[in-house]
Chains A and B, each alone.
Chain A
Amino acid sequence: MSIIKEIAAAVETGKSKVVGGLVETALAEGIDPAVILNEGMIAAMGVVGEKFKNNEIFVPEMLIAARAMKKGVEILQPQLQKQGVEPIGKIILGTVAGDLHDIGKNLVGMMLEGAGFKVIDLGVDVPAEKFIETMKANPDCKIVALSALLTSTMPAITSTIKAIEDAGLRNTVLIMIGGAPVTQAFADEVGADGYSEDAASAAELAKKLFAQANK
C-alpha cells in the first residue's frame, strides 16, 4: 500500500495516533504536502462523508476521522505554509441568534474542514451583527453558513440574511443554511443560495458554491 493510501486509510478509520507518523514518513519520502493533504486526507474525508450519508458509519466514526485528519494537518501545516498552499476557501459558520444548539453546526464545521476549507466558527446564539462584523473583517470569505435547530429560531435565519442585505454585503457572499427544521423550500423562501440536509452534503454544497463564487 502506498503511503498516501495508508494515510487515507488511517484518517478514514480515525487512527489519530498513526496519522502523524505516516505524514512525517510521506514528507520524508519527498511527497508534495499538497498531495498528502488532497489525496491522502481530504479524499479520505470525502469517503467518510459519503459513508455517513449512507448510514454506513455514524457520528462517532465521523468525529474520530476528523480528529485524525486534524492530527495529520498539524504535522503538515508548516510545510503547506512554506509552499504557500492555502485552504480552498474561507467559510463563516454559526448557529443563529436565540438558538443554543451546536451539534449539527459542529459536524458541518468538521466536514467543511475535512473538505479543505478554513472555517471561522462563531459558535451558537450568534447575532446578525456578529456575522456582519466577521464578514467585514474577512472580505475574502465567500460563504456564510447559518444553522438553526428550532422552528422558533428559523426566523433568525431570515433576519440574519436580511441584516446582511441591509449592510450591503449580500452580493459578497453565498449563503448556505441547514438544521433539523430547515428545508429547501425554506431556503428558497428566504433567498439562501443553498441548503443541505446533513454535514456531509454541506461540505459538497460548499464546494459547489465556492466554485460558483469563483466563476
Chain B
Amino acid sequence: MAKLKLATVWLGGCSGCHMSFLDLDEWLFELTHQVDLVYSPFMDAKQYPQEVDVALVEGAIANTDHWEMIHQVRDCTQYLIAFGDCAVTGNVTALRNILGTAEGVLERSYIDLADLVPQIPAEEAIVPPLLDWVKPVHTVVPVDLFLPGCPPSPSRIKFVLEVLLQGKKPRLEGRELIKFG
C-alpha cells in the first residue's frame, strides 16, 4: 500500500503547533515509516504538491499569501485539518480584528507605537498585504477536521494521525481532545 502523503502548512500562527508536533519525539521515527512528508516548514519543498492525502494547517488567514496558499492547499488535499486554535478560531492572530482594518492595524503598530522612525513597511512583492480581517480557515475553504488547542498537545496530534493511518476518520470529543486554549 502506498504511504500516506502528509503535508504541514504554516500560515498566520506562531509555529507553536509545529513545535508541539515536534514534541512527538521518538514517535516521529515511527511516523516516517508510515507517511511520506511531502511539504512542511521542516523540509525544503518550494511548491505545494498536486496530490496530498492529509494536511495539517496551522494558523489563521491573515494576509494575501495565506489566502492564496490555503486555496492551493484545499485544491490539492484530500483531507484538510485546521491545526490549532489560530486555524480553528482565529485566536491570538485575530485579536487585531478589533482595530477594524489592515490600515488601522499598521498605523497602530508602526505609527502610534513607534519609538524612533514611524513608517509603514511597504516593500512590494516582499511583504504580503494584510487582510482587513483575520479569518479562521473554515470561513475561507471547507475543513475536514478541527483540531483545537493552543497548541494541540502532542497526544492530541498523535491520536488524530493514528486514526487516519488506520484509514478511519477521527471523531474528536471530550476535554483531552477538543478543549480550546
B is a partner of A: no
Interface of A with B (CB < 8 Å)? none
Interface of B with A (CB < 8 Å)? none
